Amino acid sequence: MWKTETVYAWESALLYVDGAFRRPLAAGRHRFLTLGRKAQVFRTPNYPLHMPMAAVDVISADRFALRLGVAVLARIADPRAAIESQSQYGQKLIVAVAEAAAAAAAQRALDDLVSDRAGLGEAIAERLAGKVAELDIQAVTVTSLVLPPEIRRMLTEVERARREGEATLERARAEHAALRSLANAARLLKDNPELMRLRTLQAVSPTGKGATLVLGQDALAAPKPEAAP
């Protein structure tokens, strides 16, 4: 009796006869003679697998506790080992990720963990190299970073204080610049009295009311009485 199996390009296939490994199968159609024996084809994907992990509890270098969400991008590097381990590589990866995340986080302060997730993911990927023989780890992404409520409140207060300090400093700089500008203008008017008259004319000229403008202190003095004839 003949058995036909089709292997696709996106998978790796292995032939087992009577429970023993025989050979890998290339992409295409294959026929096996099954008379008096049992022929089985086991398959694994050969494309990268996105594998979200369970949340991991870690402690930073400055002794803050937090929880990380991690996702792993991996390819099955050894299909035979993956099949013969009954796909236990998934469980081994969960344990390896937890250990690598805890070790990587322990070398970083909380501020570094919060601000540099990409660097943390790279550090975890480096520690995972060779830990799971069946897999080739291609990338690790820190998908979430959850802090306890009291630490979140503390960080919020610190950030608010920093922002308020920056706002106060910016207002002081603006006031200093305004005072410096006024001082320069006063000095310029003192040295050039004609500028004050020109500035006054500019201030009233757009009104268009036909008003009469008298400049100079002499013009403001009371008129002298006329002499008797």
pLDDT in tens, 205-215: 665 555 555 55
Where do we find the tokens 């803050």? 64
Residue 105 has pLDDT above 90, yes or no: yes
Of 148, 137, 48, which Cα lies nearest the Cα of 101?
Answer: 137
pLDDT of residue 202: 67
Does residue 32 belong to any structural domain of this protein?
A: yes
Q: Which of 23-27, 30-34, 176-180 has the highest mean pLDDT?
A: 23-27
Does residue 17 belong to any structural domain of this protein?
A: yes
Handedness of CA 181, 183, 186, 190 (dihedral sign): negative
pLDDT of residue 126: 93
Note whether 70 and 113 are same-domain residues.
Answer: yes
Residue 17 has pLDDT above 50, yes or no: yes
Choose the final residue of a domain: 129, 147, 165.
147
Token reading at 169:
């400093």
- Number of domains making up the chain: 2
Residue 85 has pLDDT above 80, yes or no: yes
Handedness of CA 161, 163, 168, 172 (dihedral sign): positive
Note whether 114 and 67 are same-domain residues.
Answer: yes
Note whether 21 and 78 are same-domain residues.
Answer: no
For 182-201, what is the mean pLDDT?
74
Q: What is the CATH number of the domain that holds 122?
A: 3.30.479.30
HEC profile of 131-143: CCCCEEEEEEEEE
Note whether 71 and 94 are same-domain residues.
Answer: yes
Note whether 31 and 81 are same-domain residues.
Answer: no
Choose the final residue of a domain: 147, 171, 202.
147
pLDDT of residue 173: 84
Does residue 194 belong to any structural domain of this protein?
A: no
Encode burial over 15-52: b for 16+ CB neighbours within 10 A, e otherwise: bbeeeeeeeebeeeebebeeeeeebeebbbebeeeebe
What confidence category does residue 201 fall into, taking pLDDT thresholds of 50, 70 and 90? low
Count H helices and E strands in the chain, helices first: 7, 9
For 105-113, what is the mean pLDDT?
91
Does residue 206 belong to any structural domain of this protein?
A: no
pLDDT of residue 161: 77
Does residue 192 belong to any structural domain of this protein?
A: no
Residue type, 18: D
Residue 221 has pLDDT above 50, yes or no: no
Choose the final residue of a domain: 92, 117, 147.
147
Contact 105, 68 (CB under 8 A): yes
Contact 31, 4 (CB under 8 A): yes
Note whether 133 and 94 are same-domain residues.
Answer: yes
For 112-141, what is the mean pLDDT?
92
For 204-228, what is the mean pLDDT?
54
Average pLDDT score, the chain:
83
Q: If DSSP codes are grouped into helix, strand and coil, which group holds residue 215?
A: coil
Task: Please tell me the number of Cα atoms within 13 Å of 83 on its side-chain side.
Answer: 20
Residue 49 has pLDDT above 80, yes or no: yes
Looking at per-residue pLDDT, the higher value among 24 and 179 belongs to 24
pLDDT of residue 220: 43
Does residue 56 belong to any structural domain of this protein?
A: yes
Note whether 26 and 58 are same-domain residues.
Answer: no
Residue 71 lies in domain: 49-147
Note whether 13 and 81 are same-domain residues.
Answer: no
Note whether 54 and 132 are same-domain residues.
Answer: yes
Note whether 96 and 29 are same-domain residues.
Answer: no
Does residue 95 belong to any structural domain of this protein?
A: yes
Does residue 169 belong to any structural domain of this protein?
A: no
Looking at per-residue pLDDT, the higher value among 164 and 5 belongs to 5
For 182-211, what is the mean pLDDT?
69
pLDDT per residue as tens digits for the range 153-185: 776 777 777 777 888 888 888 888 888 887 887
